[in-house]
Amino acid sequence: MPSLKELRNRIASVKSTQKITRAMQMVASAKLKKAEEAATAARPYTERMEAVLANLAAGAKDLPNAPRLLAGTGKEETHLLIVATADKGLCGSFNSSIVRLARERIAKLQREGKTVKIVTVGRKGNDQLKRLYGGLIVSKTDFLNVKQIGFEQAQDIAEQALKMFENEEFDVATLFYGRFKSIISQVPTAQQIVPAAAPEGVETPDLKGAVYEYEPDEQMILRALLPRYVAVQIFRALLENVASEMGAKMSAMDSATRNAGEMIDRLTLSYNRARQAQITKELIEIISGAEAL
- Residue (of 155, 166, 161, 157) closest to 68 by Cα position: 166
Per DSSP, the residues of 117-141 read: EEEEESHHHHHHHHHHHGGGEEEEE
Cα–Cα distance between 281 and 41 in angstroms, integer?
67
Q: Are 244 and 94 spatial neighbours (Cβ–Cβ below 8 Å)?
A: yes
Angstrom CA distances, 183 to 32, 93, 94, 180, 248, stand at 9, 13, 11, 8, 6
Catalytic residue among 91, 157, 197, 231: 91
- Is 20 annotated in the active site? no
Q: What is the rounded CA–CA span in Å between residue 50 and residue 55?
A: 9
Give the span between the Cα atoms of 84 and 234, in whole angstroms: 9
Residues 125 and 143 sit within 8 Å (Cβ to Cβ)? no
Q: Which of the residues are catalytic?
A: 91
